[in-house]
Amino acid sequence: MAAAAMAEQESARNGARNRGGVQRVEGKLRASVEKGDYYEAHQMYRTLFFRYTSQSRHAEARELMCSGALLFFSHGQQNSAADLSMLVLESLEKAEVEVADELLENLAKLFSLMDPSSPERVAFVSRALKWSSGGSGKLGHPRLHQLLALTLWKEQNYCESRYHFLHSADGEGCANMLVEYSTSRGFRSEVDMFVAQAVLQFLCLKNKRSASVVFSTYTRKHPSIEGGPPFVQPLLNFLWFLLLAVDGGKLTVFTVLCEQYQPSLRRDPMYNEYLDRIGQLFFGVTPRGRGFVREPGRARGPAAACACALAGPRGPPRRAPRVDPQ
């Protein structure tokens, strides 16, 4: 017991010394940056990162790189800041650190400060999402997707924001973003199409809750949608009935819905692709070469139903909804 206590005290003393050393080094580096010695400071950060990493001092390396990146961002040194941001990710990967909210928020902060048009930002977000998935093979942690979506929304990058909202659990945030997107960039005649795409893609991702939340929030808050249900727009009525049918799981109801609302569903050629997949996921429809609700003559495979939902933010182009050029 005495030996264990002594070891613990020694570890605490070493930790305190290390923290003190890091703070002193950080102070010197900050002074170099403040003087404009950006290149020398950047190289010193990199040297310290590899020194700390070789000593398995991963937390200290990560904290130093994160603070350094923020410092470089504040001085407009995008390249140096992006490089240190990538070292933050490298530290997380090497140390096999478990995902935590604080870490996700730090990564999202770094992302928000990067030049939106830089290739480094694309590389950073791809690597961050891969780390946040924890080797599960999924498309990234929902919380990180949410934080990224919020940043992109502030930048009015609605398309990429929408992609990340789809992979988060924030149906309400997605709906609020879509309302702004529709009212600022969309055609009044297509207010229903903005939410239709999101509802169908959430269902393709087996996220019934977010599909329901995005529909109810969007239809309640959009200034061009009068109270309902029922709604003036047939497509909104279809979505309302579809969400009820998904809860019930009755194939006959789903079949009748898809048949009765074909005029509305033809407005976007992807709708029936999504519905093929939804039929398989929620109503026990067996995949067939020609699909379930596909119109005659169409030959696209059922896997295309989730193409837009699963593709990255720079994935396949979508036909709808149209937006006004700014």
Q: Decide if 167 contacts 313 (C-beta within 8 A).
A: no
Q: Which two tokens stand for residue 206?
A: 């087996």
Exposed (0-12), middle (13-18) or buried (19+): which is 271, by Cβ within 10 Å? buried
Domain spans in the chain, listed from the N-terminal domain onward: 48-90+102-112+121-131
- How confident is the prediction along the chain (326 residues), in pLDDT tens digits per residue? 454 344 444 444 555 555 556 778 888 899 999 999 999 999 999 999 999 999 999 999 999 999 999 999 999 999 999 999 999 999 999 998 999 999 999 999 999 999 999 999 999 999 999 999 986 767 899 999 999 999 999 999 999 999 999 999 899 999 999 999 999 999 999 999 999 999 999 999 999 999 999 999 999 999 999 988 999 999 999 999 999 999 999 999 999 999 999 999 999 999 999 999 999 999 999 886 544 444 433 333 333 334 444 455 443 334 445 555 44
Q: How far apart are CA 198 and CA 173, in angstroms?
A: 12
Task: Name the strand (E) or helix (H) holding 179.
Answer: helix 171-185
Q: Decide if 164 contacts 149 (C-beta within 8 A).
A: yes
| Sign of the torsion formed by the C-alpha atoms of 144, 149, 154 and 156 | positive
Supply the pTM of this predicted model.
0.84
Q: Which two tokens stand for residue 128?
A: 């961050």
Q: How far apart are CA 174 and CA 163, in angstroms?
A: 9
Q: Which two tokens stand for residue 176?
A: 């609020």
Residue 186's beta-bridge partner residues?
323
Q: Is cis: bond before 321, omega within 30 of 0? A: yes
Q: How far apart are CA 170 and CA 210, in angstroms?
A: 7
DSSP E strand stretches across 122-247: none
Q: Which two tokens stand for residue 216?
A: 């109810």
Q: What is the structure's pLDDT at 290?
A: 45
Query: DSSP assignment, residue 88?
Result: H
Cα of first residue to Cα of last residue in the chain, in angstroms, is: 71
Q: Is cis: bond before 119, omega within 30 of 0? A: no
> Minimal CA–CA distance to 110: which of 75, 86, 139?
86
Q: How far apart are CA 242 and CA 140, in angstroms?
A: 28
> Minimal CA–CA distance to 218: which of 155, 160, 165, 266?
165
Question: Would you tell me how many other CB atoms lie within 10 Å of the CB of residue 191?
Answer: 24
Q: How far apart are CA 303 and CA 233, in angstroms?
A: 29
Q: What is the structure's pLDDT at 161?
A: 98
Q: What is the structure's pLDDT at 134?
A: 85
Q: What is the structure's pLDDT at 323?
A: 55
C-alpha distance from residue 126 to each of 7, 98, 148, 162, 311 (Å) = 41, 18, 11, 16, 12
Q: Decide if 102 contacts 109 (C-beta within 8 A).
A: no
